[in-house]
Structures are given as C-alpha cells and as structure tokens.
A = this chain, B = another copy of it.
Amino acid sequence: MEFTIKQIAEMLGGVVKGDTSLKINMLAKIQEARVGQIAFLSNPKYEHFIYETSASAVIVRKDFIPKKEVKSSLIMVDDPYSSFTVLLEEYHKMISFQKEGVEEPCFIGNNCTTGRSIYRGAFSYIGNNVKIGDNVKIYPHTYIGDNVVIGNNTILHANVKLYAGTVLGNHCIIHAGTVLGSDGFGFAPQEDGTYKTIPQLGNVILEDNITIGANTVIDCATLSGDSTVVRKGAKLDNLIQIAHNVEIGKNTVIAAQTGIAGSTKIGENCVFAGQVGIAGHLIIANQTSVGAQAGISKSIKEEGQKLIGYPVIDVKEYFRSYALFKQLPDINIRLRQLEQKLAAATSTVKTD
C-alpha cells in the first residue's frame, strides 16, 4: 500500500490535523511505528507514546487534545481501534489478492466454471464439475477434487487439498498443506479383531470469512448429505484436527494442535488455546474459554466458563489444586506427624 494521509482519512471518514500529503506504506503499533507508518491511540494509558512516536500519522479519538507537541499528523475518528482494524483488513486484502492469471502447466477437468480475476498457479489441479467464484486465488500444487464449490474472494495457499464435494464460502483463507474432506476415522470392529472400513460419504462446508492455518485437517461427515461444518468467522490455527461431523460455531477461535473428536458441536465465540483435546459427541456452550493442553470429556452446558485441566475444571480451581499438588510431599509429612502425635496423645490420655 502507498496512500496519502488524506486518502486514508477519507477512507475512514476522519478529519486530519497536520500534513495530509505524507505517504503511508505500513501499519504499526504506536510504540514501534516509524516514518511512513500509521498507528492508533485508543487506550489513554498509552498516551505518552504519541509524544515520542515517529509515526507519520496516528489515528486518535475525535475529542483527543494533545497535552504536548505531537510530530505526527492526527486522523480524528469516532473509534480509533475500529478504524485501525478497518485499515488492517484493507491492507491485508491488498497484499493478498495481487496474483492473477493462469500459470502453466495447470490442470482443469470437465464442466468447471471459474469467475473473474482468478489466479491458478502452476501445477494446481481442478477436477470435474467444480464451481469457482470471482477473485479466487489458487496457489501452486493446490488440489481441488470433483464437485467442489468455492465462493468469491477466497484464497487457497500452496498445496491446499480439497477432497471431492467440499464447499467453501466467500472470503476464506486456507493456508498451505491443509486438507479438507479426508475420510473420517470410522471402522466397524469384527469378531476376529479386524476392522471393516465404514465409507465416509459426507463433505466439509466452510461458511464465509473462515481462516484456517497450515497443515490442519478437517474430515468429511460420515453419511451422504451430512457435513462437517465451520460457521461464519471462525479462525483455526495450524496442525489442528477436526473429526467427522464436528460443527464449529460462529467466531470461534482455535489455536494450534488442538483436536476435536467426531460429532462434537462447539458453540459460538469460544476460544481454545493450543493442544486442547475434546472428546466426541459433546456439546460445548457459547463463549467457553479453554486453556492450553486441557482435555474436555463431558459437554459444557454453562456459557462463558474459563476451564483448564484434564478433565477440565474452572481455571482458578485448577491452579489452587495444582499449587497443593506441588505440596503433596509436605502434606503427606504433616499427615504422618498428625498420626504420630495423635497416637502419642491418645496413649497419653489413656495411660493417665
């Protein structure tokens, strides 16, 4: 990006105090911003940074009155944080949608439709009966199986793999190496100890505005007509495992290496830290927040809890118990001393 402060102010509906002609090419935190960069000040706690920053522009609340000299131009808006995130998103789109056209060799099957301004990188593979929207970016080595549907403005980074029948919404970003639609882990045990494979016939559906990190796996649903679903606005990190028939609620955030077993339904606006494990066939309430490496083995019914441990309990309770876990050797000694003292005391009493 390379915009004047004036252009950015117009984009945000803000008013400029200072030089409007300076050029901005980057966003930064106010304490780190340099010349040519734009920052924001929202929390009064950070006000002192505005008198020290080298940022060419700072987005501030429209009623902000500097107590000292400010070298940066100010863009006065209603809500600086929200204006800054608008810029972040615009910038993100600008740098993400630069690639366009078709690199050869690449492969496309029969009966496909592709929208305007799409990028098809070299060695990308598109099967039969695939529908691809406008402005979709398909990086090299991406595999798109038969009957896949992809909305507008969606980015598939290098070597994403979409099994047949996967459906992606608009404004999704899938990072390199991620697999959507692989077979769920379903095997019918036989009397002789072997297993027969249960055909996995459903698909994976991602709604709009989903981001998924690198080398993550989402399995398809078991039955034909069923789907493993990720709802609008959910954000998944790298190396995550989502099993068959799982549903992830709106705006839920899941950090790296977390695993969710089959048929579990995760609520909206939940936050899962890294390496969390969630058993199958559970229902997790909205706004549940789960600490790293926690294990969930039962449904969470009450909304808004903060949980940790295996199996999970309230965060504060866990740390209270863990503090005493560390003191168990001491607790054991105290217990033994009590036993000895009581034995001595009662024998004393008795012999009295």
Contact = CB atoms under 8 A, between A and B. Distances in A.
A216 B160 CA distance: 15
A74 interface: no
Interface stretch (A3-11, A43-51, A83-91, A130-138): A83-91
A155 B324 CA distance: 50
Interface string A188-221: 1011011111110100000001010111110100
A348 B352 CA distance: 12
Given A177-B177, A326-B317, A241 B257 contact: yes
Given A274-B261, A345-B345, A185 B241 contact: no
A256 B185 contact: yes
A123 interface: yes
B197 A211 contact: yes
A122 B125 contact: yes
Contacts of A190: 82, 85
Interface stretch (A16-24, A25-33, A54-62, A65-73): A25-33
B328 A324 contact: yes
**Chain A interface extent, by class:** 35 or more
A112 interface: no
Interface string A107-124: 100000000000001110
Contact of A88 (B179, B197, B257, B320): B197
A86 to B, nearest CB: 8
Interface string A160-189: 010100000000010111010011010110
Interface in A211-234: 211, 213-217, 219, 223-224, 233
B293 A295 contact: yes
A103 interface: yes
A252 to B, nearest CB: 10
Contact of A183 (B121, B175, B268): B175
Task: Name which of A84, A233, A235, A241 has the most chain B CB atoms within 10 A of its CB.
Answer: A241
A342 B342 contact: yes
A279 interface: yes
A44 B206 CA distance: 39
A334 interface: yes
Contact of A335 (B82, B233, B261, B331): B331
Given A107-B140, A259-B274, A293 B292 contact: no
A159 B182 contact: no
A161 B158 contact: yes
A335 to B, nearest CB: 6
A275 interface: yes
A253 interface: yes
Contacts of A122: 107, 125
Contacts of A217: 177, 213-215, 238-239, 256
Given A92-B198, A159-B161, A352-B352, 10 more contacts: A85-B190, A91-B199, A143-B158, A177-B217, A185-B256, A239-B239, A255-B261, A257-B277, A321-B325, A338-B342
- 4 tightest Cβ-Cβ pairs between the two chains A and B: A324-B328, A92-B199, A182-B214, A143-B158
